[in-house]
Structure 1
Amino acid sequence: MGTIKRDKGLDNTLKVMKQGYLYITNQRKRLGSENIFETRALGGKKIIVISGKDAAELFYDNDKIERSGTLPKRVVNTLFGKGAIHTTTGKKHIDRKALFMSLMTEGNLKHLRELTRNHWYMNTQKMEQMDQINIYRESIVQLTKIGTKWAGVQAPEEKIEEIATDMDVMIDSFKGLGGKFKGYKASVDARKRVEDWLEDQIIQTRKGKIFPPEGTALYEFAHWEDYKGNPMDSRLCAIDLMNTFRPLIAINRFVSFGLLAMHEHPITREKIKSDDDYAYMFSQEVRRFYPFVPFLPAKAKTDIQFEGHPIEKDTMIALDIYGTMHREDVFENPDDFYPERFKDWDGSPFDLIPQGGGDYYTNHRCAGEWMTIIIMEETMKYFAERVTYDVPEQDLTVDLNSIPGYVKSGFIIENLREVVDRK
């Protein structure tokens, strides 16, 4: 049992942000450490960084690892919200997670698939009249429409653009982990506007002044009671309600990545058209291959060991999310875009972890992951089967040194036309 190797420095936060998704991989290689090393960040805190499938299994062991209270305040205040389910643990977390999971019925998921298919198709005429379409921007508007409709939230057409913009600002706030973040106030203000709007709908639902359909997120959250029989505070309820459809809006990054993948690998478009199962494999590979979440924080609940190295209670731990999915010992030829790798995938909760790992019901694995896959499948089918378009010259760079990850141009298309079989 050797000493844990260390990335020297009093505070490596700026180095982390400068190297982005590649920081952990770069340090593992530089230090000659396969799965574990020590760094200091976020004000000089000691952090044990772990990577790989076994690391993910440890990270999502509720008896050994505590995630509550470890997210940076900036991220909580802007992306998740104060008191959000992501910041809870134990019985409280399981109880509220059960509420989220209760929405994942076969009927609700089928409805989401139909909404996605129909909203993109109904948007065809508008896009045909546009000189250029920025897929990053267009998809965040469409996904806002889909997400709010699915959640039972009343979102008038004139408010959709505002909500979509506010959501994008909030999601983009992840870049504020280190150093000055000029957009912090804008992110906090954006969250407040959306929270105010949703809290009003919670209150109006409870007063019987608006009537969301039973089974929708708005209805279920407004009427939910905790294990002590108490309704949720209306503000906290609004925060958790937002977290049912906010992850769907963040999928706009996967949508632009998906169109980039189809553009760079044209055969995948043809396979989506000809193979009913290929859109699923393609969507999973987009989620694995492209940058989304770089790493996640937690702390040791008790004295533990990882690969023979002792980690003391309360020590900060960071799980390598992006790097784990790009390791040779986790996925064969990980730097190749190869959707067929998911044809016989065993569904492990510890290797494909773009939105977290572990068990859906008891861990912090995103309850919206199934929804992400459904939306991606239907969106990729739409762009592969229902329309044609041209891809003009543009900057298609995906900068892995920047968090969060983007297609530099947003992925721009033009001359979009509906495919009509006139035979």
Structure 2
Amino acid sequence: MKTKRLNDSAIPRDRAPDSTLSLLSEGYAFIPNRCRRYGSDVFAARLMLSPVICMSGREAASHFYDGDRFTRRHALPPTTFALIQDNGSVMVLDGDAHRHRKEMFLSLVGPDALRRFSDLLAEHWRRAVLRWATMDSVVLLDEAHRVITATVCAWVGLALPPDEIEARAAEFAAMVAGTGAIGPRNWRGHLLRARTERWARRMIEDIRSGRRDVPPGAARTVATHRDADGRRLDVRTAGVELINLLRPTVANARYVVFAALALHENPHWVAALADADAGTRQRFAWEVRRAFPFIPFIGGRVREPFAWRDHAFEVGDWALMDLYGTNHDPSRWPTPERFDPDRFGTEALDPFDLISHGGGAAVDGHRCPGEGITQTLLITAAGLLATSMRYEVPPQDLGIDLADIPARPRSGFVLRAVRPV
């Protein structure tokens, strides 16, 4: 059967001449809304005056994350891409170059390293709880940025003094907040990222010269890494990859807040987590990642032509893979708006179902190599929320605006009367 191009009728087409304003006003719901409207898991549209194919669901993910079918180059607006990954990073590499660089990241997140990360997070969290207990109230999102920054910097081998933790946490938080924004919030993210990049390059140079003695670990690994061609990363690229270890980890502060919100709205899970085995805490963390909005979608450009749904995807075509909508697909997740960790059961996860960090296998595809850090962080933080402290949640606006990318409870989740346990 002959497949059809974007301006033909093989797949539904969004009726608007350009849907950019709709994307900005609907955010995470933009692709799911149209998939429901057109009764299709794929449709054509125009965004920023460019043709795009929007895809959602498990089958779409299996095509989008199939080997080297898509590249991430030129697949997101430059103002967003520079805050998320930036040029030269593992994300924009393809083929063997991508796999070789990915091996470096995956070597950093083995079981022993993740246990050490969990221990460090618990240590820094308990110190923070003692400080929170002296305050009238705290905004958990802001505090989680600081705790995770202190944790991940110590974990990579760059333990920071308190004043520098504040500076780095503010920079990472601004980068994350600016990714889906247009205007001042995005500009601030870029301004502070420039400061972080100077710091990261200085760390790389100091490690290589011996001026900074760091223990074996992630920072040293990045500083000394050689690509498949045998060449050491240039200082700028090494600095970018160091940031790509730190910033996405700090972005998980939003997941910590979502976990707190889930416990607040489902208080029986506080006691359940306190007495839970490892499997139960794992399912709770999976459900936080499924239920709450984190990354709305990911972009790709076709590298290898293929056909799906009677549509020809040709080299250079732009596509958006719907992560949020796939994690809320009612055909896979019954009553998707209900928070229910027990929906996961005990079976292994299908690599194209829960795709908050991408689909397929991380070792040879574009699934995020930091997924293990996120899962470990969430398991640890949820356990600490349930067992290491008591607190009150005063009246506040805990609503989540899906038009706001990246999403968060509007109040940032305010805690009062914190007491260590």
- TM normalised by structure 1 equals 0.94
Native 8 Å contact 2:286 2:341 kept in 1? yes
Report the count of equivalent residues.
Answer: 413
User: Who is 1:189 aligned against?
Assistant: 191
SS at match of 2:377: helix
Q: What displacement does 1:366 show?
A: 1.2
C-alpha distance in 1 between matches for 2:52 and 2:372: 31
Shift of the alpha carbon at 1:341?
A: 1.5
Q: Distance in 1 between matches of 2:144 and 2:243?
A: 18
Match of 2:280 among 278, 281, 291: 278
Tell me which amino acid in the other structure corresponds to 2:87. K
Report what 2:149 is aligned to.
Answer: 144
Identify which of 374, 384, 395 aligns with 2:386: 384
Q: What per-residue deviation string (whole Å, max 9, x for no partner) do you get for residues 349-402 of structure 1?
A: 111011212211122211111111111111111110121111100001011222
Between 1:400-409 and 1:289-298, the stretch displaced more is 400-409
Seen in structure 2, the aligned counterparts of structure 1 residues 402 and 183 have a Cα distance that, compared at 3 Å, is closer
Deviations 1:53-94 (A, max 9, x none): 010010011243232331221112223223221122122211
Out of 9, 28, 33, the position equivalent to 2:16 is: 9
Post-superposition CA distance 1:97-117 (Å, at most 9, x none): 111111122221111011011
Q: Percent identity?
A: 31
Residue matched to 2:6: none
Task: State the SS of the aligned residue for 1:322.
Answer: helix
Matched letter for residue 257 of structure 2: S
1:414 corresponds to: 416
Q: Distance in 1 between matches of 2:110 and 2:193?
A: 28
What secondary structure does 1:259 align onto?
Answer: helix
**Matched residue SS, 1:175:** coil
1:251 is matched with 252
Q: Which residue of 2 aligns with 1:60?
A: 65
* Structure 1 match to 2:34: 27
Is contact 1:79-1:173 (8 Å) kept?
Answer: no
Q: Which moved more, 1:187-196 or 1:68-77?
A: 68-77
Cα contact 1:135–1:411 (8 A) shared by 2: yes
Q: Secondary structure at the match of 1:380?
A: helix
| Match 1:102 to one of 102, 107, 113 | 107
**RMSD, aligned CA:** 1.4
Task: Tell me what 1:399 maps to.
Answer: 401
Give runs of aligned pairs for residues 9-408 of structure 1, distance below 5 A: 9-31=16-38, 33-41=39-47, 43-176=48-181, 180-214=182-216, 216-276=217-277, 277-408=279-410
What amino acid is the match of 1:123? A
Cα distance, 1:220 vs structure 2: 0.6
Rounded to whole Å, the distance in 2 between the matches of 1:220 and 1:341 is 39
Shift of 1:227: 1.8
Secondary structure of the structure 2 residue equivalent to 1:310? strand
Q: Is the 8 A contact 2:394 2:416 kept in 1?
A: yes
Matched to 1:404, the amino acid is P
Alignment partners' CA distance in 1, 2:184 and 2:246? 26
Q: Distance in 1 between matches of 2:368 and 2:230?
A: 26
Give per-residue Cα distances to partners, 1:110-145, cap 9 Å, x unaligned: 110110111111222101001001110100000000
Partner Cα separation in structure 2 for residue 79 and residue 105 of structure 1 = 24
Comparing 305-314 with 288-297, greater Cα deviation is found at 305-314
Distance 1:221 1:300 in 2: 29
- Structure 1 residues 263-299: Cα deviation after superposition (integer angstroms, max 9, x where no partner): 0011111110122232221111011000001111112
Task: Return the letter of the residue paired with 1:304.
Answer: F
Q: Unaligned regions of 5+ residues in structure 1, if any?
A: none
SS in 2 for 1:305: strand
> How far apart, CA to CA, are the structure 2 residues paired with 1:76 and 1:50?
20
Matches of 1:231 and 1:302, distance apart in 2 = 30
Tell me if structure 2 keeps the 8 A contact 1:398–1:407.
yes
Q: Residue 157 of structure 2 aligns to which amino acid in structure 1?
A: G
**In structure 2, C-alpha distance between the alignment counterparts of 1:124 and 1:170, rounded to whole Å:** 26
Contact 1:115 / 1:150 at 8 angstroms: preserved in 2? yes
Does the Cα contact within 8 Å between 1:58 and 1:65 map onto a contact in 2? Answer: no
Letter in 1 for 2:369: A
Q: Name the SS of the counterpart of 1:230 in structure 2.
A: coil
DSSP 3-state at the match of 1:317: strand
Secondary structure in structure 2 of the residue aligned to 1:336: coil
**TM-score between the two structures when normalised by the length of structure 2:** 0.95
Quick check: 1:304–1:313 contact (8 Å CA) kept in 2? Answer: no
